[in-house]
Amino acid sequence: MSAHCCDQQTSNSVQKQWTITEINALFALPFNDLIFQSHQIHRLNFNANEVQLSTLLNIKTGSCPENCSYCPQSAHYNTGLKKEPLMSLESVLTAAKRAKSAGASRFCMGAAWRSPRDNDLDKVIEMVQAIKAEGLETCVTLGMLTPDQAQKLKKAGLDYYNHNIDTSKKYYQNIITTRNFQDRIDTIEAVREAGINVCCGGIIGMGEGVEDRASMLMTLANMKEPPESVPINMLVKVKGTPLETNECVDPFDFIRTIAVARIVMPKARVRLSAGRMEMSEEMQALCHFAGANSIFYGETLLVTENPIPETDTAFFAKLGLVGV
């Protein structure tokens, strides 16, 4: 196969490089044409009735020095959150065992850090090892990492590292000023370089335009290796954060974003992430039809509410979806 000028040669395949014009054109398609296309791509790459289940646990809560405008855990805003130090290995393991018996296949631990200190990382490494020994996949999201820290996590057996780009490069400074877009990319590259699977996505509903959503997905899809896991969050509007009074996202615009993510990253697990408390069953069903094939499963996300497992189980039964 000959490589087109916009294509990037990888070791054994030619990965398409998407242009912003192409991605904008996908967003502009009539809704039915877009989700028909994304559903076909979904079926070519996955069993369309299987949804991967990841359970979250916040292992260190609040007083984060970063000023992410959406985040209840930032020390810059008064959200009434009680801060908590790093949890003990024992209580994390209890939560992981509970997640496994409820049906989760992946356990994701989040910490409200700008970046982990080396002695904290050692404690997280013990958690990763213990959770893996229970037969669960592991994911952590700890903020920025050095290449050396990423290597240590890989050595511990970590399966995924979550680090979101959140929005477009252009819109980033409207949301966070304590770090920049390139800082995020640097950590993602360190994670990739270490051989850990990348979990990277963003948030819809922060006041960004369609062109920012297109640009965010282009950045993800055009990575040397696109992320294996792509969480698409709908903003949870938390009281006390600068985004608490933001306008709600139109459900069809959210579903369109899922569909475009599926088209431009056909092999990724696209996760219908935060915001499901505000979504109807019909909206979630359309997200799954459009190509979402993973959810956060369990009654809490990091600090805010998520549907209880019984609700998701009943919903899956109605649609014949199977949690994996």
Which residues lie near ligand SAM (CB under 6 A)?
70-71, 110, 112-113, 141, 143, 163-164, 166, 203, 233, 235-236, 238, 274, 302
**DSSP classification of residue 16:** P
3-state helix, strand, coil in the chain (%, to 5): 40, 20, 40
Q: Which of 73, 115, 187, 241 binds ligand SF4 (CB under 6 A)?
A: 73
Is 276 in contact with 298 (CB distance < 8 Å)?
A: no
Instruction: Show the site string, 46-65: x = touches ligand DTB by CB under 6 A, - = not.
Output: ----------x---------
Using CB under 6 A, which of the segments 39-47, 181-189, 204-212, 300-308 binds ligand DTB?
300-308
Give the 3-state DSSP-derived string for 68-90, with helices as H, strands as E and coil as C. CCCCCCECCCCCCCCCECCCCHH
248 included as an active-site residue: no
Return the CA Rg of the chain: 19
- By the rule CB under 6 A, 273 interacts with ligand DTB: yes
For the beta carbon of residue 186, count every other beta carbon within 10 angstroms.
17
Element (DSSP H or E) covering residue 117: none
262 included as an active-site residue: no
Which residue, 75 or 102, has its beta carbon nearer to ligand SF4? 75
Q: How far is the CB of 113 from ligand SAM (least distance, A)?
A: 6
271 included as an active-site residue: yes
199 included as an active-site residue: yes
Is 110 in contact with 92 (CB distance < 8 Å)?
A: no
**Half-sphere exposure in the Cβ direction for 178 (13 Å, CA):** 14
Element (DSSP H or E) covering residue 58: strand 50-60
Contacted by 159, from ligand SAM, ligand SF4, ligand DTB, none: CB < 5 to 8 Å by type: none
108 included as an active-site residue: yes
Footprint on this chain of ligand SF4 (rule: CB under 6 A): 64, 66, 68, 71, 73-74, 112, 143
Interface with ligand DTB (CB under 6 A) = 56, 72, 110, 141, 162, 164, 201, 231, 233, 236, 273-274, 301-304
